[in-house]
Structure 1
């Protein structure tokens, strides 16, 4: 693609409004300083976590018209009616899994000769994602899990994360927690999301223990452990664990999570889940007398996924619901002591939009723009381009039937 000289920062158009932004005011200045001749134009927005005035105060142009921009940056899907023909866009399109809700979006991208680069597909040579909000999903998810546990058991009441100004304000809330009993907390996963959750528990000075000690020892203080895939899965044929094989052939494995259910009070689920992989547990397991988990923070929020109780996602405004093991039915949150309360918000980073946006902006400056303005020698942009000038890229030809 030709080198951009004017970059447009889009207002978010989804409902409810997403308050995050791809570039914060300070990162716009840093970008312009790093690449002389490059300018950023910001579309005004009444919802963005960073106000129009914050951009204007740093000399960044704020203007509604994006027609002159060479490259347009958003966060979530751009409304179909807002797409400009022939432009290059970067945003999370949520189309590569053939999501029905976004079929018209991709159809319009192709019809209007648009080039679409998807942040989710930006990877390094090892195939690891380099741009993501996962860390902040873990941070907010862990906080929401503790908030939910405190409310369910009448221990404490914390201000919701979305009502906090930023991470520092949220920290002031969880530092108030003085009445956390000697519960056991399990975190699944080892990626960005899990690291965010670990950060919160670490800042709260909750003690981390080994998986063995978690299972077999009693404590007089709250503790947590981190479970990787091999801790709660095994091969069905009894052969030795193989991490690479688990990712390649997840259907060959079965869950062993049942051993953790009798000792776990709060489960914070942060592990990536493949639809072919086993569920963590079954609905029938929740009816067992030794199933102790009373609160689940399903941070990954795969509906009908690894956590079978997550039969729907929840919202920032109403983040939790209850599951009744006796009937298998969902009920309003905190309905009865016998129910399991599930927090399954599917857009957790939106609750701390300023922090999440700063982190995301840093990733774009370090990863995306060197490739955009440096010729993409490692092919990162090529791997992340779903369509160019109205044509699906070869690796995304499988989407042809989806958009036909």
Structure 2
């Protein structure tokens, strides 16, 4: 089997790779029947020369490959018919901007395996860049808090050589007794907690967070759905019921909105679920949050101040709660300052790629190259032989243009 590493073609360019040069060598040693080649690229965090130095062939034309590995969406004009493609397709939520991509994949009879839906036999995701989104999102939130309050300045994450340097800069930060709320408990939230624990911020319970009106030092709380959503029928909160029937819940975050200085939003949000808070609630004089790092970055989603995605080069903007308008970052102390970069792992591309490739080798490739005994590849294949697979038949009308 021949595997090709794709050149990332999406704009803005993505410097991440699915496999580092050393990992390409490891793949061929671990799976002797597999050959790995790399499409040349001027923008990768790992250069063409680094691959060539380890005798990984550089190959512009990948039409003789069986499997093609990328990170972000492949350009429509670059698809090669009949191949197996792995990348983040951003189609499973019927994203309008990728309708043509899905249609092209079907037309060219491509087997599209989406990283986002690769799960183990128990249904849990096994790969992604979530941890690095959390690490950088927390760092950016702390950076924004320092800039807004003229407390300290942190070097932008994307200017750091690696994760170790980014964390090193945090060691020079002396946080005031700020109160930080983190939503979620997945990989993204795990990355956030790594940063807060590196800073030695004290963790407290939700009850302690609400009761601690004037803490002596910085504290943080991790909030789960039962802390910020409640059933509309008055019944007790049930997590599985919430996942299956999110429309039967309403937000109950307001007590935390009155007690939080910095919100780091890292919880997955279902559009059928209640928002975390409304734009009207943000007008309340008791709404205390002054900085929001919205790692989830759902535009006009659970957090009303996230009205657009920001960029790595320009990561912050202000939201005026009274007018609902966006203004220049840190231009008015009464505004809420927002971090909403939608490609956070790209700020630490080498570390993120290394972590991602490790999971590919350990958790995905045995099913791809040996035997798919737990249907890992099968279950993540959105399309095959020109048709949507059974789990993704709900996309048929979307693919048909409806």
What's the TM-score once normalised by structure 2's chain length?
0.97
Partner-residue secondary structure (3-state), 1:62: coil
Quote the offset at 1:366 in angstroms.
Answer: 1.1
Find the aligned partners of 2:94 and 2:283 in 1 and give their Cα distance. 36
Q: Report SS of the residue matched to 1:226.
A: strand
Aligned ranges 1:5-404 → 2 under 5 Å: 5-178=1-174, 180-217=175-212, 218-404=214-400
Q: Output the CA distance in 1 between the equivalents of 2:59 and 2:234.
A: 63
Distance 1:281 1:402 in 2: 30
- Is 249-258 or 264-273 further displaced after alignment? 249-258
Query: Structure 2: where are the runs of 5+ without partners?
Result: none
- Separation in structure 2 between the aligned mates of residue 13 and residue 281 of structure 1, nearest angstrom: 37
Q: How far is the alpha carbon of 1:403 from its aligned partner?
A: 2.3
- Give the Cα separation in 2 of the matches to 1:293 and 1:102: 35
* 3-state SS in 1 of match to 2:257: coil
SS in 2 for 1:61: coil
Structure 1: distance between partners of 2:241 and 2:210: 26
**How big is the shift at 1:104?**
1.4
**Matches of 1:185 and 1:381, distance apart in 2:** 39
Question: Which whole-Å CA distance do the structure 2 matches of 1:260 and 1:73 have between them?
Answer: 43
CA RMSD across the alignment:
1.1
Q: Cα offset for 1:401?
A: 2.3
| Deviation readout 1:373-404 (Å, 9 max, x if unpaired) | 22211111111111112222122222222222
| Residues in 1 aligned to 2:165 and 2:143: alpha-carbon distance in whole angstroms | 15
- Could you list the structure 1 runs, at least 4 aligned residues long, displaced by more than 3 angstroms after superposition: none
Distance 1:86 1:31 in 2: 23
TM-score by length of 1: 0.97
Cα displacement (A) at 1:249:
0.8
* In 1, Cα distance between equivalents of 2:106 and 2:252: 45
Deviations 1:222-272 (A, max 9, x none): 111111111111112221111110111111112111101122100000111
Q: How many pairs does the alignment contain?
A: 399
State the Cα distance separating 1:29 from its structure 2 match: 1.1
CA deviation string 1:83-137 (max 9, x = no partner): 1111111111111222111111111112222211111111112211111111110
Shift of 1:321: 1.0
Q: Distance in 1 between matches of 2:257 and 2:237?
A: 22
Moved more, 13-22 or 303-312: 303-312
Distance 1:291 1:391 in 2: 49
